[in-house]
Structure 1
Amino acid sequence: MTETLTPAARERRSEGHLPVPRDPRAPYRAGSWSVIIAALVVLHLLAFSATDFHPAKLVTGAQGMMNFLSEAIPPDLSGEVLRKGLEGALTTLWIGLLGTTISVPFGLLLAVLGARTTAPNAFVYQIARGILSFFRAVPDIVFALIFVTAVGLGPFAGVLALIAHNTGVMGKLWSEAMEDIDPGPEQALRTAGASRWQVVANATIPTVLPQLTGLLLYRFDVNVRSSLVLGLVGAGGIGLLINKAIKTFQFDEMLTYLIIILVVIVAVDLASGWIRKRLQ
């Protein structure tokens, strides 16, 4: 049978270019993408229905929003409000700081036990990973509610909540960092007869120390923001003041507290970024 070629195909053949064969999986891939897109559309429609997502309500509720803003602006800059706001912001900062630093030894221990390259055996590895998964899975605000019940209202409950949650998050991140390092220094120490903990202390941790520090600073940023939310459930800090201002309809005070915490968070971001650059 004589092969029928288009003029363009004849030209390519005359120039030594062979036609590109068709991918036999192309129709299958196109069908798979069609199914995925259709499934995503259906899921979003169900989500819109379940969450009562109607952007038009923003238009109908514009008047209520304007009334809220008119009561909040200008912010209350009286001396008493500023004093309480600054004290609450400092408490929020201390909650984030202690919740970050006190979780370091717990997170580091679980990271060593939960990394494949440093865990003593598979059983210890699975136990450590399970503990990390639990602390990471439970939100810090749930921990705050539990500790408020245990120790009462105040910043101590917020610190305990951040310690628990941050231990899980940092342990997971640090264990993955330990698994990704160059195994050369560790193997050299093992060959020289070093024990497991000597290898961890003299090879693993020094190798990943800059990365661990960068992750810790990032978590400090997150924890300062989280401590604001924890205050809304009674765990102290400026979040508690914001919650009281909303409940008493003192929206001008609320705006003052929001401005203060915004300044604190921006300052923490800038300081953390400056330190991270120096560590690189």
Structure 2
Amino acid sequence: MTLLDPRVRRLPVPARRHRPRAVVLGWAVAAVVVAAHVVAWNATEVSFGALVDGWRGMAEFLAEAIPPDLAWDVLGPSLEGALVTLWIGLLGTTLSVPLSLAGALLAARGTAPAWAYQPARWLLSFLRAVPDVVFALVFVTAVGLGPFPGVLAIVCHNVGVMGKLWAEALEDADPGPPQALRSAGAGRIQVAAHALLPTVTPQFVGLLLYRFDVNVRSSLVLGLVGAGGIGFLINQSIQLFQFDEMLTHILVVLVLIVAVDQLSALVRRLLGSAA
């Protein structure tokens, strides 16, 4: 008897059920999203017509900025400012590592005492919610202008961000080794040191390199509020209407960012090959 035998009984295909609630919910979500975009469009005063009408101003700006001023009295301070920006991002990242690790251990469910879990997460949320520019303004008023308040601002904000990321990495780690150590009578510190941290170290390093990349860019912005670095030179050039010098500083920033990206990629490849 073949499959085409008329004696074979064909079962009816059940009708597809329509779920009106899901359809209504989908349309409701779509309507909310569209309404939110309409409100955002009006609130931000988006106007492509104004952008087209302002082409003359943009053309005059570019005409004054091009070509960049590559004289050594401009390029030399620009390179020095770029190095200062790099050092701000580097120190802000590395100095935040101990505090970020402590915050991550206190904000992860598997390693935090019950009394410290929520306060640690609230503290990390606060440090993450306050922009680094605000921290820079506070520290500029406290210690004066220069790179040091930029380093402090990066440290404070980076502890909140990196502590949160590292805490999530600890919570997502393989629960097998920690449970084995706990069953053997190990304490929280022993479990973290011998089971959790060795497992998540590659993730920690990857997140640290990512934050270093972000912090170098952030230190550029911090220079605009007096925290030193090449951002301060860019702000000074704009205030003095020296747009050709500004373009020189921006090109130096571009070279710096590309170099940092390449360095981070190289470190990741070396860590991957070593693993």
AA at the equivalent of 2:16: R
Q: Report the counterpart of residue 182 of structure 1 in structure 2.
A: 174
Q: Report the counterpart of residue 154 of structure 2 in structure 1.
A: 162
1:232-257 CA-partner distances (Å, limit 9, x unpaired) = 11111000000000000000000000
Structure 2 counterparts to residues 37-56 of structure 1, below 5 A: 37-56=30-49
Q: Report the counterpart of residue 209 of structure 1 in structure 2.
A: 201
1:207-240 CA-partner distances (Å, limit 9, x unpaired) = 1101100000000000000000110111110000
Instruction: Give aligned-pair identity as a percent.
Output: 62
Any stretches of 5+ residues in structure 2 without a counterpart? 1-7
Structure 2 counterparts to residues 116-131 of structure 1, below 5 A: 116-121=109-114, 123-131=115-123
Structure 2 counterparts to residues 186-201 of structure 1, below 5 A: 186-201=178-193
Q: Give the drift of 1:276.
A: 1.5
Return the TM-score normalized by structure 2: 0.93
Q: Report the counterpart of residue 265 of structure 1 in structure 2.
A: 257
AA at the equivalent of 2:259: A
Does residue 132 of the first structure (1) align with residue 111 of the second (2)?
Answer: no
Q: Give the drift of 1:17.
A: 4.9
Among 60, 67, 72, the residue aligned to 1:67: 60
Q: CA–CA distance in 2 between the matches of 1:78 and 1:15?
A: 89
Q: CA–CA distance in 2 between the matches of 1:215 and 1:118?
A: 20
Q: CA–CA distance in 2 between the matches of 1:89 and 1:17?
A: 74
What SS class does the counterpart of residue 174 from structure 2 fall into?
coil
Return the TM-score normalized by structure 1: 0.91
Alignment RMSD? 1.3
Count of residues in Structure 1 that have an aligned counterpart in Structure 2? 265
Q: Give the drift of 1:191.
A: 2.6
Q: CA–CA distance in 2 between the matches of 1:68 and 1:50?
A: 27
Would the alpha carbon gap of residues 56 and 187 (structure 1) be closer, same or farther in structure 2, given more than 3 Å must change? Answer: same
AA at the equivalent of 2:220: L
What SS class does the counterpart of residue 33 from structure 1 fall into?
helix
What SS class does the counterpart of residue 234 from structure 2 fall into?
helix
AA at the equivalent of 1:274: L
AA at the equivalent of 2:269: K
Q: Report the counterpart of residue 140 of structure 2 in structure 1.
A: 148
Would the alpha carbon gap of residues 17 and 217 (structure 1) be closer, same or farther in structure 2, given more than 3 Å must change? Answer: farther
Among 214, 233, 237, the residue aligned to 1:222: 214
Does residue 20 of the first structure (1) align with residue 2 of the second (2)?
Answer: no
Q: CA–CA distance in 1 between the matches of 2:11 and 2:156?
A: 64
Would the alpha carbon gap of residues 254 and 20 (structure 1) be closer, same or farther in structure 2, given more than 3 Å must change? Answer: farther
Q: Report the counterpart of residue 100 of structure 1 in structure 2.
A: 93
AA at the equivalent of 1:79: W
1:93-147 CA-partner distances (Å, limit 9, x unpaired) = 00000010000000000100110000122x2101111111100111111111111
AA at the equivalent of 1:63: R
Q: Report the counterpart of residue 102 of structure 2 in structure 1.
A: 109
Q: Report the counterpart of residue 7 of structure 1 in structure 2.
A: none
AA at the equivalent of 2:254: L
- After TM superposition, where is structure 1 displaced by more than 4 Å over at least 4 residues in a row? none
Q: CA–CA distance in 2 between the matches of 1:79 and 1:52?
A: 42
Q: Give the drift of 1:15.
A: 7.1
Among 68, 76, 79, the residue aligned to 2:69: 76
Any stretches of 5+ residues in structure 1 without a counterpart? 1-13
Q: Give the drift of 1:89.
A: 0.1
Q: Give the drift of 1:259.
A: 0.3
